[in-house]
């Protein structure tokens, strides 16, 4: 059945889509995505997809609204071209942090985006390390939430001494994610207890766990402003940690985040290419990108063959 796969790249994730296609030994489908003079998006699939299994690879990263609209139009184009099944492969699912109402008269934007993708014509969604697992339930179509943990575990084992590793959750909310990775590498767990006074800023309050003499690995799903990571690294080093690295799935890195991390005491920040790295990220002295193309490629191949995807993470 793999012969019927068509991989279509959106502008947000073209290098990643090319790597996925190479892993599957398939050429990228020829698709034109351009804009009219008033910046309206126009999509044209330039090869036959009738009866095919179409996978549209597009992160809804910055600029999130443009990339989301592009994804919706690409789904509509595939549906109107009689694709047999359309899977939206969204390595980074934007708006995921708006997964609940935090105060009165506010939206649940993640649910709205799920509705838009479904109504556009997607038959399935594949994403990576959702900010909140319950977002899977926002979709009324099958949704596969993949995990970057196997990629990160492999990298950690190749580069670090397991004898003195300590996995650290940068906040209480990320404990489940950090514990899962700590279990995979057989390392103890510590927690940073922090208080956030306003969006984009955080204050480290306390370290729960004995980190003295340890190589600490901060684990999270998203790094945006970088403030939490920088503050956590300083607090861990103040408590006697030998060094501090961070493994984060989605490198949003908005505003001055890259320079903030480059000038910090972090030994290294490792992110995936779920979001296409900027030139500044590529030049930063202590930021490294690992690819998730083989992971997504394997998941796509298994989905096309109707075989198990969850066994990838067993």
Q: Measured between alpha carbons, how far is 96 from 98 in angstroms, rounded to an integer?
A: 5
Kindly state the average pLDDT of the residues 244-269.
Answer: 96
Is the domain of 196 the same as that of 277?
A: yes
For 22-78, write each residue's pLDDT tens digit.
999 999 999 999 999 999 999 999 999 999 999 999 999 999 999 999 999 999 999
Task: Specify whether the CB–CB gap between 246 and 223 falls below 8 A.
Answer: yes
Distance of CA 118 to the CA centre of its chain: 20
Which residues does the annotation mark as catalytic?
194
Q: How many domains does the chain fold into?
A: 2
Is the domain of 64 the same as that of 112?
A: yes
* β-strand pairing of 31-35 with 41-45: antiparallel
pLDDT of 2 higher than 90: no
Is the domain of 182 the same as that of 262?
A: yes
Nearest to 152 by CA among 269, 231, 42: 269
* pLDDT given at position 1: 42
Is the domain of 163 the same as that of 256?
A: yes
Is the domain of 135 the same as that of 154?
A: no
Q: 149 or 4, which is more confident?
A: 149
Q: Confirm whether residue 131 is marked as ligand binding.
A: yes
The one-character DSSP state at 174 is G
CATH of the domain at 123: 3.40.50.2020
Q: Measured between alpha carbons, how far is 227 from 59 in angstroms, rounded to an integer?
A: 23
Largest CA distance in the chain: 61
Q: Measured between alpha carbons, how far is 23 from 20 in angstroms, rounded to an integer?
A: 5
Whole-Å CA distances, 109 to 10, 113, 131 = 22, 6, 13
pLDDT of 106 higher than 90: yes
* Mean of pLDDT over the chain: 93
Q: Measured between alpha carbons, how far is 227 from 204 in angstroms, rounded to an integer?
A: 10
* pLDDT given at position 173: 85
Give the structural domain span for 269: 149-291
For 84-94, write each residue's pLDDT tens digit.
999 999 999 99
Is the domain of 158 the same as that of 115?
A: no
Structure tokens at 156: 């950690």
Is the domain of 272 the same as that of 168?
A: yes
Q: Confirm whether residue 273 is marked as ligand binding.
A: no
Q: Is 209 helix (H, G, I), strand (E, B) or coil?
A: coil
Label residue 313 by pLDDT band (50, 70, 90). confident
Q: Confirm whether residue 305 is marked as ligand binding.
A: no
Q: Confirm whether residue 227 is marked as ligand binding.
A: yes
Q: Measured between alpha carbons, how far is 289 from 144 in angstroms, rounded to an integer?
A: 23
What is the reported pTM? 0.93
Is the domain of 267 the same as that of 183?
A: yes
Is the domain of 91 the same as that of 164?
A: no
Is the domain of 118 the same as that of 185?
A: no
pLDDT of 180 higher than 50: yes
Structure tokens at 27: 């050429």
Is the domain of 6 the same as that of 137?
A: yes
Is the domain of 141 the same as that of 45?
A: yes
pLDDT of 203 higher than 70: no
Kindly state the average pLDDT of the residues 116-122.
Answer: 98
The beta strand positions in 159-307, using DSSP E, are: 165-169, 189-195, 203-208, 215-223, 243-251, 268-272, 287-290
Q: Confirm whether residue 228 is marked as ligand binding.
A: yes
Alpha-helical runs (H) found in the chain: 14-23, 64-80, 109-120, 149-159, 175-185, 227-238, 257-262, 279-283, 293-304
The one-character DSSP state at 255 is T
DSSP H or E stretch at residue 67: helix 64-80
Q: Measured between alpha carbons, how far is 171 from 219 in angstroms, rounded to an integer?
A: 10
* pLDDT given at position 197: 62
Kindly state the average pLDDT of the residues 157-181.
Answer: 92
Task: Specify whether the CB–CB gap between 282 and 254 falls below 8 A.
Answer: no
């Amino acid at each position: 059945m793999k012969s019927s796969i068509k991989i279509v790249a959106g502008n947000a994730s073209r290098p990643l889509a090319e790597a996925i296609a190479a892993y599957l030994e398939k050429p990228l489908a020829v698709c034109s995505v351009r804009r009219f003079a008033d910046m309206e998006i126009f999509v044209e699939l330039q090869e036959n997809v009738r009866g095919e299994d179409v996978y549209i690879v597009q992160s809804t990263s910055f600029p999130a609204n443009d990339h989301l609209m592009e994804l919706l139009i690409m789904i509509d184009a595939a549906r109107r071209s009689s694709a047999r099944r359309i899977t939206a492969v969204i390595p980074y699912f934007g708006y995921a942090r708006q997964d609940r109402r935090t105060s009165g008269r506010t939206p649940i934007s993640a649910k709205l985006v799920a509705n838009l993708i479904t109504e556009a014509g997607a038959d399935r969604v594949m994403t990576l390390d959702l900010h909140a697992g319950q977002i899977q339930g926002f979709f009324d179509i099958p949704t596969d939430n993949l995990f970057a943990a196997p990629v990160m575990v492999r990298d950690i084992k190749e580069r670090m001494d397991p004898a003195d590793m300590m996995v650290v959750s940068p906040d209480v909310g990320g404990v489940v994610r950090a514990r899962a990775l700590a279990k995979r590498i057989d390392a103890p767990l510590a927690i940073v207890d922090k208080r956030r006074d306003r969006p984009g800023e955080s204050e480290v309050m306390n370290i729960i766990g004995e980190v003295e003499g340890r190589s600490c690995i901060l684990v999270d799903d998203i790094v945006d402003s970088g403030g939490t990571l920088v503050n956590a690294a300083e607090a861990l080093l103040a408590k006697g940690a030998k060094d501090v690295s961070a493994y984060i799935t989605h490198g949003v890195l908005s505003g001055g985040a890259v320079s903030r991390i480059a000038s910090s005491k972090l030994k290294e920040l490792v992110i995936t290419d779920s979001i296409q790295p900027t030139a500044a990220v590529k030049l930063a002295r202590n930021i490294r990108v690992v690819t998730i193309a083989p992971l997504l490629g394997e998941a796509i191949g298994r989905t096309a063959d109707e075989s198990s995807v969850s066994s990838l993470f067993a």
